[in-house]
Amino acid sequence: MTEQMMDAPYRPHGLTNGEQGVLGQPLPRIEGAAKVTGQATYAYEGTPAGIAYAGIVGAPRGSGTIERIDASAAEALPGVIAVIHGDPRMPAGEANSRAMPSFASDTVFHYGQPVAIVVAENQAVAREAAALVVVEMTPGQDRFDPRAEPIDTAPKIGFLPPIAKGDLDAALAEAAVVFDQTYTTPIHFPAAMEPHASTAWWEDDKLIVRSSNQVIGAARGTIAQALGIDKDKVRVLAPYVGGGFGGKTGVGPEVILAAIAAEKIGRPVKVALPRRQTAYLVHHRSDTVQHIKIGCDENGIISAFAHLSVAAQHDDGEFLEPVPFGTLPLYRGAVRHFKTDLVRVDLPATGAVRAPGEAVGTFAVECAMDELAEQLGLDPIELRKRNEPDTDPLSGKPFSTRRMIDCYDDGATRFGWNPQPPASVREGEWLIGTGMAAALRGNFTVNAEAIVRLEADGRAIVETDMTDIGTGTYTILAQTVAEMLGLPIADVEVRIGDTDLPPSAGSGGSFGAGSACSAAVLACEDILTELARRINASPDELRLKDGCVRVAGRETALADLVRGEPIVARAKSGPGAESKRTSQASHGAQFCEVAVNAVTGEVRVRRMIGVYDVGRVLNRKTAANQLIGGMVWGIAYALSEDGIVDTRTGHFVNPDFGEYHVAVNADVPQIEVHFIEEVDTSANPAGAKGVGELGISGAGAAVANAIYNATGVRVRDFPVTLDKLL
């Protein structure tokens, strides 16, 4: 097996001498037809024989101790097979998602925490019976307000340690201009189109789970650990996943409960969470309070930047929203203070939701930059350009590739950037405004393996345990292999979504595409080397196109070179010295025009343009789709998304789409996405940086800044609902 741990900038042979030009093309999703014709089977589909259905019983109070569970009424309901609770194997919190059932403990961390599971002959009976289970609890601390005191200023959780470089107070005291404001963002739900669902069955001592999950390799380990069985005894299947947004990065309690129930009744069991239950059993993005302090000179050159926040988590949770993550390398300033404090609450787990840190952190920072530009009398793009760092302002490392200035310039040209004074443009009763914001998302490459087989018929198969959560994984893997081996896209078969395949990155942190395609690139390089050997050439000399290899005017069909046995290569890609030597991120600039009704305060987003630097673009359609999706979410969290807690009980007031308002078609205007493409040879062998989480970064701030420009009203508490504008 070839291993390439990015120890030097890397440019693969196949991507330089491939003549296909298929990589990067805006091809439609290769599995699209299967999806729209209903042939793609999701976690709740593909029902094994003898299936039973489960419903999950949630704790009726947000904190306290379980005293008694009375399942007699549920057990008496016709069609109920079993009611299970108090399984002693359930360790509390042993998961990469904290939304785990802890039946062994009588402590309740949040409202709706799973305390029992009902198994029945059909879903309706399972859910009805679950509602009949009586759970008696004694009250606990009932800390339900994420904006409450006390605040832990030295939390022991989270992956981003506090950063305090230089003397902030002294720098601010010396600065000619000081900016100081506080912004807040509410709870956001990672509400995927496909609610969380799992089907579990046992084949002897082996557990097979069909689950809606983003990172099945990690899920396999988590499931094995939770059940106390060997990892080899668990197989996770996720051929199709209907969205994730971070909410499916870990293992939800429904997976473990389905497995326990299936073992107990000796039949396959499936469970789908009702929409309202996903709000409790799946983590959410924390509420945040963000304090921004900036010191700069009269020209706007920043000397000190502080991004100091508070986020919430329950007592058993170890994730802490890394609020300033995107701010770290964004602007100049020798003095840099970044931290996130903690409020402990008795609410469902907070966790990684699309662009953890950046999504809400950029709201505060990019609104602050807009406000500071006005304070200085500068164009907001000019202020940002003056503060564009030459090297990573925290670590001093060189950037791998950073085309932020080009994103500003190209975006400004395409948008027709020509900002007018606040509240100065009016069309009838509509106030018109424009706004912009920077986008930044750290780039990560993680370990990924792939096997590529060149078959005797000249077709290729690529195998890796990646998932496609709607992002285009099937298609970009096919394009990568087609490009490398000079094959038509239809001659590449992609096998993913099965933990029996080589361990890969999974879909998370925007690292999936770059990492998995890099493993495929390296495996293809080994195949090129073997092909070159068979025709006595060097890999550099090969020209591959239409299933043929050409060397010095001689053309041979790949099928003729394979000779019976397939050529099989397995490769592993991962971060190495180059990932440490350079500072890596994806960048972008967001532009937005809004109309605000002067009478009602209604906001209509009229147009948005985003220009992005994501390294090599693997597929201009699926990459643009990802970015558009992020921008749509930006509209939604700027204007409507607002998870509201009833601070008396710890339950969510609006845990469904009826009252938690995501952006719908009528809210979303024409959105344009453009790329500044520069292959990043330091990022990974594919040269691709992360895409998925970049589009949401800065998007909400661009909307909020446009609203300010339209109305002259600065709202610092998201979402910007109309009552705040009147």
Range in contact with ligand MOS (rule: CB under 6 A) among 162-170, 331-339, 346-354, 589-597: 346-354
Report the nearest approach of ligand MOS to the CB of residue 447 (Å): 16
Cα 700 to the center of its chain, rounded Å: 16
What is the Cα Rg of the chain in Å? 26
Which position's Cβ is nearest ligand MOS? 246
Please select the residue that binds ligand MOS; options are 168, 223, 352, 496, rule is CB under 6 A: 352
Give the count of residues interacting with ligand MOS (CB under 6 A).
Answer: 10
Report the nearest approach of ligand MOS to the CB of residue 503 (Å): 17
Nearer to ligand MOS, 633 or 675 (CB): 633
Structure tokens belonging to residue 339: 């931290």
Report the nearest approach of ligand MOS to the CB of residue 283 (Å): 10
Nearer to ligand MOS, 111 or 189 (CB): 189
Nearer to ligand MOS, 419 or 470 (CB): 470
Residue 354 binds ligand MOS, judged by CB under 6 A:
yes
Q: How far from 491 is each of 38, 478, 505, CA to CA, in Å? A: 23, 9, 24
Residues 165-204, mask of contacts with ligand MOS (x by CB under 6 A):
----------------------------------------
Report the nearest approach of ligand MOS to the CB of residue 507 (Å): 7
Taking residue 648's Cβ as centre, other Cβ atoms within 10 Å add up to 10
Nearer to ligand MOS, 246 or 539 (CB): 246
Among 302, 307, 294, smallest CA distance to 357 is for 307
Interacting residues with ligand MOS between 246 and 305 (CB under 6 A) = 246, 249
User: Taking each helix axis from N to C terminus, what angle separates 620-639 and 358-376, rounded to the nearest 10 degrees?
Assistant: 70
* Distance of alpha carbon 640 from alpha carbon 662, whole angstroms: 7
Q: Which residues contact 163 (CB under 8 A, 6 or more apart)?
A: 324, 328, 336, 337, 338, 339, 394
Structure tokens belonging to residue 514: 């770059």
Interacting residues with ligand MOS between 115 and 154 (CB under 6 A) = none
Note if 94 is an active site residue.
Answer: no
φ, ψ of residue 288 in degrees (nearest 5): -135, 150
Q: How far from 71 is each of 76, 117, 123, 705, CA to CA, in Å? A: 9, 10, 18, 54
Q: Would you say 147 and 289 are in contact if contact means Cβ atoms under 8 Å apart? A: yes
Q: What is the 3-state secondary structure (H, E, C) of 261-291?
A: HHHHHCCCEEEECCHHHHHHHCCEECCEEEE
φ, ψ of residue 64 in degrees (nearest 5): 130, -160
Range in contact with ligand MOS (rule: CB under 6 A) among 351-359, 409-417, 700-708, 710-718: 351-359
Please select the residue that binds ligand MOS; options are 15, 118, 223, 353, rule is CB under 6 A: 353
* Distance of alpha carbon 354 from alpha carbon 285, whole angstroms: 9
Please select the residue that binds ligand MOS; options are 509, 615, 700, 719, rule is CB under 6 A: 509
Structure tokens belonging to residue 481: 């292999």
Report the nearest approach of ligand MOS to the CB of residue 247 (Å): 8
* Distance of alpha carbon 66 from alpha carbon 71, whole angstroms: 14
Report the nearest approach of ligand MOS to the CB of residue 319 (Å): 10
Range in contact with ligand MOS (rule: CB under 6 A) among 352-360, 404-412, 457-465, 474-482: 352-360
Interacting residues with ligand MOS between 66 and 95 (CB under 6 A) = none
Interacting residues with ligand MOS between 199 and 228 (CB under 6 A) = 214
Range in contact with ligand MOS (rule: CB under 6 A) among 244-252, 536-544, 577-585, 610-618: 244-252
The residues that bridge with 136 in the sheet, in sequence order, are 68
Nearer to ligand MOS, 376 or 694 (CB): 694
Residue 361 binds ligand MOS, judged by CB under 6 A:
no
Report the nearest approach of ligand MOS to the CB of residue 602 (Å): 31
- The residue count for the chain: 726
Residue with tokens 């952006």: 663
Residue 588 binds ligand MOS, judged by CB under 6 A:
no
In order, the DSSP letters of 508-524 are -TT-HHHHHHHHHHHHH
Nearer to ligand MOS, 250 or 393 (CB): 250
Residues interacting with ligand MOS, by CB under 6 A? 214, 244, 246, 249, 352-354, 356, 508-509
Catalytic positions, written as ranges? 693
